[in-house]
Structure 1
Amino acid sequence: MKWVSNDVDLYNQTKEYIDTAVVPLIAISVGSDFKNTVSKGEFINLVSMDLERQLKGRVFLFPTYSYLKKSENVIENLIEWKTELQQEFKHVVFLTSDTELKEEKNEQLEGKLIWLPTIPLENMDENLKRKLLQDQVEQILNILLQSWNKS
């Protein structure tokens, strides 16, 4: 389910089955790494949409959380998001390709922040792109299954 009115209506009717919030994270930077930053964001958005498509009825895909790459309060904001979303969803997952965010350890986000290495997709054959995205989604599915089985 996505952040659209029709899906919220469906969520309200079936919320006992939808226990996982997925929030894509995208760093914003227009410096020397502008294109690389955009590529990472594009990749996370594609993976997030594919994950939602495959797990519709179990996950709710929130809008992308964008932040300035040099911002110092990103982790604090994510902890606030996690706390807010856990009032409605048993599991909260953040997806990112931002290496700096991955390296910033925080026990409150342990197991909630999933880092994916970026695969440049811009000049790739459509079939290969689909396969690579599917592989990434399968890795996330394995993480989610472990999380779901623990609870």
Structure 2
Amino acid sequence: MKWVLEDVDVYNQSKEYVDTAVIPLIPVSVQSDFKSVVSKGEFITHVTAELERQLKGRVYLFPPFTYLKNTKNVFEILLEWKTEIQREFKHVFFLTSDEMLKDNKPQSLSKNLIWLGAVPIEHMDDNLKRKLLQDQVEQILNILLQSWNN
């Protein structure tokens, strides 16, 4: 389910089955790394869309959380989000390709933050892109399954 009105109605009718929130984390920068940052954000957007498509009815895809790449208090904000969203969803996962988040994440977010190495997909053949996204989703599924089984 996605962050759209139609899916809110479906969610309200089937809350007991939808226990996982997924939030894409998209850094923003217009410095010299502009293209790289955009590419990583686009990659995460595609992966989370595919994850939602495959797990519709179990996962609720939130809109991307965007932040300036060098934001100092991003972890405080994510902890706030996690606390708030866990009032409604048992499992909360943030997906990112931002190395800064991967390398500096606090223990309190270690199980919630999933880092994926971004692959530039802009010139990729559609079949290859689908295969790559499928491989990424399978990796995430393994993490989700472990969480669901605990």
TM range, smaller chain: over 0.9
Q: Residues 75 and 105 of structure 2 are in contact (CA less than 8 Å); yes or no, is this contact kept in structure 1? A: no
Counterpart position of 2:18: 18
Give me the whole-angstrom Cα distance separating, in 1, the residues matched to 2:45 and 2:122.
14
RMSD: 0.4
Which moved further from structure 2: 104-113 or 14-23? Answer: 104-113
Counterpart position of 1:65: 65
Counterpart position of 1:37: 37
Residue 140 (structure 1) shift:
0.2
Residue 105 (structure 1) shift:
2.7
User: CA-to-partner distance for each residue in 1:36-74, whole Å, 9 max, x for gaps?
Assistant: 000000000000000000000000000000000011010
Give me the whole-angstrom Cα distance separating, in 2, the residues matched to 1:6 and 1:108.
33
1:122 alignment partner AA = E
Residue 15 (structure 1) shift:
0.3
Which moved further from structure 2: 101-110 or 57-66? Answer: 101-110
1:41 alignment partner AA = G
Give me the whole-angstrom Cα distance separating, in 2, the residues matched to 1:7 and 1:143.
24
TM-score normalised over the length of structure 2: 0.99
1:3 alignment partner AA = W
Counterpart position of 1:147: 147
Counterpart position of 1:124: 124
Unpaired stretches in structure 2, ≥5 consecutive residues: none
Counterpart position of 1:91: 91
User: CA-to-partner distance for each residue in 1:79-136, whole Å, 9 max, x for gaps?
Assistant: 0000000000000000000001111131110110000000000011110010000000
Give me the whole-angstrom Cα distance separating, in 2, the residues matched to 1:120 and 1:28.
17
SS at match of 1:102: helix
Moved over 2 A (4+): none
Unpaired stretches in structure 1, ≥5 consecutive residues: none
Give me the whole-angstrom Cα distance separating, in 2, the residues matched to 1:104 and 1:7.
34
Give me the whole-angstrom Cα distance separating, in 1, the residues matched to 2:80 and 2:107.
14
State the identity as a percent.
69
1:143 alignment partner AA = I
TM-score normalised over the length of structure 1: 0.99
1:37-56 residue pairs with structure 2 within 5 A? Answer: 37-56=37-56
1:121 alignment partner AA = I
Counterpart position of 1:6: 6
Give me the whole-angstrom Cα distance separating, in 2, the residues matched to 1:133 and 1:59.
17
